[in-house]
A and B are shown apart, each in its own frame.
Chain A
Amino acid sequence: MGRRDLTHVDRYAAAAAPDRSDAVQRLTTYGFPGFKDEDWYYTPTRRLLSEPFVPVVGTPRPPEVELPEGERLVFVDGLFDEGHSSAALAHQRMAVAPGDAGTLLAEPLGFDALNAALWRDGANLQLTGPRAPIHLVHVATGDSRLGVVRHRIHVAAGIEATVVEHHLGRAGEKSGRALTSDVVEITLDEGATLHHILVQEAHAEATVVHTVLVRTGAQASYQGTSVQLGGSLARAELRVELAGEHARTDLAGLALGTGSEHIDHHVLIDHAVPNGTSTQSFRSILDGTARSVFTGKVVVREGAMGTDSDQSNRNLLLSDDAIANTRPQLEIYADDVKCAHGATIGKLDDDALFYLRQRGLSPKQARGLLVEAFAGEVVATITDPSVREAVTARVAHHVLATVEAQR
C-alpha cells in the first residue's frame, strides 16, 4: 500500500455546512467567561477582551517564521496555507465545515462557542496506518487578528500515531496582539494510541485558547504532552473521556512564563467505565509576575471500578512575585478506585546552586541547568526521538532567555 492509501481523505461537502446560529446565539447570550465562572476564576479575560479581535478571510499572510520540519499542514491566522503545507496532506482537511454529527463539542460556551461559530478550516486526520509524525502548525501574525481552527483526528483500531501541534508567532517587532482558538476533537478506536504533543510559543502578546477533546475506545491510549512557552494568555484544556474499558491517558504539561505572562492548564479526565488508568504530571516555571494555573479534575463515574488515577503538580518560582495556582478536583462516585494527587511550590534549591557553583559553573549556568532539568521531566514524556529533540531545543532556548533576563 502506498503512503497516500494509509489515510482516508474525508472532505465535507458545502451542503453539509452546519447551522451556526446555535453557537452564535450561545455566544451572544452567555458571552465570554469572567471571574464568576469557576473554571476561569484564576484566568481573567477582561483585559484580553477589552479591545476587539478581527476575524480574517481570504489569502493567508506569509508566515515569516521558521516552520517545523516534516509532514505538515500550516494555518496562518486560521487560514490554510497550501504553499507551506505538505502536498501529501493537503486533502486531509475540513476545508468546508462538517456537520456537527459526531462532534465531541456539545453545547459549546464561551471560547468553544466562538470556535463553533467561526471556524473555517482545519485538519481532518484519518490515521489508519503507521506513518511519520504529522505536524499541525498555527501561525499568529498579530495586528489583533483572530484565527479560528477546528481539527479532527481519528486513529483506527490498533494503530499508533503521533501528531504535533505548534503555535508560533512572528518574532520581535513583527509580533503583536492576536487570538487563536484551536479546538481538536480526537477519537481513538479500540487499542489505538495517539501521542499528541502541543508546543505553544506564539510569543508574549499572543493569546491561544486550545481545547482538546478526546474519547477513547477500549484499551486505547491518549498520550498528551503540552509545552506552553509563554504567551499573554495561554490556556490548554485537555478533556479526556475514557469511554472503553482498560483505556488509559497520560497527560504531562509544562508552563514556562516570564514577565506578566499567564499560562493555564485545565484538565478534565472522565473515567466513564471500569478499569481505566489516568496520570497527570504538570509543572510550571515562573519568573517576573507571571502566573500559572493548573486545574486537574478527575471524575470517576458510578460503576467505574478499578479506576487508577494519579496527579502531580510541581511549581518552580524564580521570583518573589510569580504566582502558581493549583487546584486538584476529584469527584468519585465509585468504590474500589485509587486516586492520588499531590502539589508542590518551591524555588531553586540553594544547596544545588552552591554545589554547581563550587564546581565552577556561573550562577546563570547553574540556574539554567536546574531549570532545564525541572522542565526536562515533562519533555521526556515525548516518545518520538526527533520530536523530543526538537522540543528539548525549544525549551532550552526559552529557559536560557529566562535565566539570561534575570539579574
Chain B
Amino acid sequence: MLELIDVHARIGDTPILKGVTLTIPKGEVHAIMGPNASGKSTLSKVITGHPDYVVTSGDIRFEGESILELEVEERAHLGIFMSFQHPVEIPGVATSVFLKAAVNAVRTARGEEELDAAGFLRSAKKNMKVVDLPKTLLHRSLNEGFSGGEKKRNEIFQMAMLEPKLAVLDEPDSGLDVDALRIVAEGVNHLRSPERAVMVITHYQRLLEYLIPDKTHVFVDGRIVKTGGPELAHEVENRGYQWVRDELGAAARVGA
C-alpha cells in the first residue's frame, strides 16, 4: 500500500528525514516510535504532501505509483488520510458543513455519487457512535472550543467518514487521559480492515497496549533504526530511547 524508498526531506535548509525506507502492506498497522524532535511528525507531513516540506531524494509510492508530484488534496482523493496531532480550530465553519464538503470532494474524485444531506447525516450519526461523540458537535465550529479528547476523537470520526486506504495517525494519544486514549484506540481498531493500512506515530508505548501494531519501528534522528514486532514497543518503553542510541553507537563503532 505505502512504500517509502530512501526518502530524504528538508524544511527550509534543515534536513529532517535522512533516508527513510519503509513498507506498509494493506491490512497492517505499523507503529512509529521515536523521541521528540526525531522527525517522526515530518514523516506524516511528507506522506500527505505538506507544501513546506521538500523531498530532496528518494520516492514515496502509494499502491505502486509515485505520489511525490501530487498535491495535498490529490493524495487525499487517492485515500490518504492524516489525523493531526494538533487539529486546527476553524471558527465559523460548522463541522457538518466542512465534513460534508470533504466527503463529497473525495467521493467525486473517486467517481462516486455525492451524499445528500440526509445520507450524510445518517452516515455521520453512525460513525460518531464509534468514538462516542455527541451529535451536537456537528453544528459546532470545527474544533473550536473542543476539549483535547474531543479533537482527537473528531479526527477518528473524520477518518471513519472518509474511509481512507491509508491512515497516518500523528500522535493520536498526545494530551489524552487513559479513558480518552482507550476510546481513540478502540475507534481505530474498529476501522482496521484487510483493505486498510495504518501508520500510527507515537512517543509512548501506552497507546500500543490498546492498538496492537503488526510492526514497530524505532525512529531516531530522521531514520528508522530498529524494526520489530509489538514487543519492541515494550522494550523501548522499559529501556528508553538512549538504549537504542547506545546500541546504534556500538554498531557504528563495530562498523568502523
Residues of chain A at the chain B interface (Cβ within 8 Å): 349, 351-352, 354-363, 365, 369-370, 372-374, 376-377
Given contacts A354-B72, A356-B98, A370-B93, contact A361 B88 (CB under 8 A): no
Given contacts A349-B88, A369-B93, A374-B92, contact A357 B73 (CB under 8 A): yes
**Nearest Cβ in chain A — how far from B41, in angstroms?**
13
Given contacts A356-B98, A369-B98, contact A377 B162 (CB under 8 A): no
Contact in complex: B109, A355 (CB < 8 Å): no
Contact in complex: A359, B76 (CB < 8 Å): yes
17 residue pairs of the A-B complex, CB under 8 angstroms, read A356-B90, A357-B73, A357-B76, A358-B81, A359-B76, A359-B98, A359-B158, A360-B105, A360-B109, A360-B162, A361-B101, A361-B102, A362-B105, A369-B93, A369-B101, A370-B90, A377-B92
Residue of A nearest to B51 (CB): A354
Cα A373 to Cα B101 in complex, Å, equals: 14
The residue among B50, B84, B90, B97 with the most chain A CB atoms within 10 A of its own CB is B90
Residue of B nearest to A371 (CB): B92
Please, which residues of chain B bring their CB within 8 A of the CB of A352? Answer: 88, 90
Contact in complex: A351, B88 (CB < 8 Å): yes
Please, which residues of chain B bring their CB within 8 A of the CB of A365? Answer: 101, 105
Residues of chain B at the chain A interface (Cβ within 8 Å): 48, 50-51, 71-73, 76-77, 81-82, 84, 87-88, 90-93, 97-99, 101-103, 105-106, 109, 141, 158, 162
Residue of B nearest to A375 (CB): B92
Please, which residues of chain B bring their CB within 8 A of the CB of A356? Answer: 90, 98, 102
Contact in complex: A373, B105 (CB < 8 Å): no
Contact in complex: A360, B73 (CB < 8 Å): yes
Cα A355 to Cα B49 in complex, Å, equals: 11
Cα A357 to Cα B109 in complex, Å, equals: 13
**Nearest Cβ in chain A — how far from B172, in angstroms?**
15
Residue of B nearest to A368 (CB): B101
Cα A351 to Cα B81 in complex, Å, equals: 16
Please, which residues of chain B bring their CB within 8 A of the CB of A357? Answer: 71-73, 76
Contact in complex: B88, A359 (CB < 8 Å): no
Residue of A nearest to B45 (CB): A354
Please, which residues of chain B bring their CB within 8 A of the CB of A374? Answer: 92
Contact in complex: B105, A361 (CB < 8 Å): yes
Cα A163 to Cα B180 in complex, Å, equals: 50
Cα A372 to Cα B98 in complex, Å, equals: 12
Cα A352 to Cα B84 in complex, Å, equals: 11
Please, which residues of chain A bring their CB within 8 A of the CB of B99? Answer: 359
Contact in complex: B101, A358 (CB < 8 Å): no
**Nearest Cβ in chain B — how far from A400, in angstroms?**
13
**Nearest Cβ in chain B — how far from A162, in angstroms?**
23
Cα A358 to Cα B158 in complex, Å, equals: 11
Cα A266 to Cα B101 in complex, Å, equals: 37
Contact in complex: A358, B91 (CB < 8 Å): no
Cα A356 to Cα B105 in complex, Å, equals: 11
Please, which residues of chain A bring their CB within 8 A of the CB of B105? Answer: 359-362, 365
Contact of B82 among A358, A369, A372, A376 (CB under 8 A): A358
Residue of B nearest to A374 (CB): B92
19 other A-B residue contacts (CB within 8 Å) besides A359-B105, A360-B109, A369-B98:
A354-B50, A355-B84, A358-B73, A358-B82, A358-B84, A359-B98, A359-B99, A359-B102, A359-B158, A360-B76, A360-B102, A360-B106, A362-B73, A370-B90, A370-B93, A373-B91, A373-B92, A373-B93, A374-B92
Contact in complex: A373, B76 (CB < 8 Å): no
The 6 closest A-B pairs by CB, nearest first: A373-B92, A359-B102, A360-B105, A357-B72, A360-B76, A360-B106
Contact in complex: A361, B92 (CB < 8 Å): no
Please, which residues of chain B bring their CB within 8 A of the CB of A351? Answer: 88
Cα A370 to Cα B90 in complex, Å, equals: 8
Contact in complex: A376, B72 (CB < 8 Å): no
Cα A355 to Cα B151 in complex, Å, equals: 13
Cα A351 to Cα B87 in complex, Å, equals: 9
The residue among B101, B141, B158 with the most chain A CB atoms within 10 A of its own CB is B101
Given contacts A365-B101, A365-B105, A369-B101, contact A358 B72 (CB under 8 A): yes
Please, which residues of chain B bring their CB within 8 A of the CB of A360? Answer: 73, 76-77, 102-103, 105-106, 109, 162
Residue of A nearest to B78 (CB): A360
Contact in complex: B88, A355 (CB < 8 Å): yes
Please, which residues of chain B bring their CB within 8 A of the CB of A377? Answer: 91-92
Contact in complex: A376, B73 (CB < 8 Å): no
Residue of A nearest to B103 (CB): A360
**Nearest Cβ in chain A — how far from B218, in angstroms?**
26
Please, which residues of chain A bring their CB within 8 A of the CB of B51? Answer: 354
Cα A33 to Cα B71 in complex, Å, equals: 51
Please, which residues of chain B bring their CB within 8 A of the CB of A358? Answer: 48, 72-73, 76, 81-82, 84
**Nearest Cβ in chain B — how far from A3, in angstroms?**
36
Cα A27 to Cα B207 in complex, Å, equals: 76
**Nearest Cβ in chain A — how far from B151, in angstroms?**
12
Please, which residues of chain A bring their CB within 8 A of the CB of B101? Answer: 361, 365, 369
Cα A319 to Cα B44 in complex, Å, equals: 30
Contact in complex: B73, A361 (CB < 8 Å): yes
Cα A351 to Cα B82 in complex, Å, equals: 14
**Nearest Cβ in chain B — how far from A251, in angstroms?**
19
Residue of A nearest to B72 (CB): A357
Cα A377 to Cα B92 in complex, Å, equals: 7
Please, which residues of chain A bring their CB within 8 A of the CB of B88? Answer: 349, 351-352, 355
Cα A363 to Cα B103 in complex, Å, equals: 15
Cα A169 to Cα B12 in complex, Å, equals: 48
Please, which residues of chain B bring their CB within 8 A of the CB of A373? Answer: 90-93, 141
Cα A338 to Cα B109 in complex, Å, equals: 54
**Nearest Cβ in chain A — how far from B87, in angstroms?**
7
Cα A351 to Cα B91 in complex, Å, equals: 13
Cα A358 to Cα B82 in complex, Å, equals: 7
Please, which residues of chain A bring their CB within 8 A of the CB of B141? Answer: 373
Contact of A355 among B90, B91, B106 (CB under 8 A): B90
Please, which residues of chain A bring their CB within 8 A of the CB of B158? Answer: 359
Cα A128 to Cα B1 in complex, Å, equals: 71
Cα A369 to Cα B99 in complex, Å, equals: 12
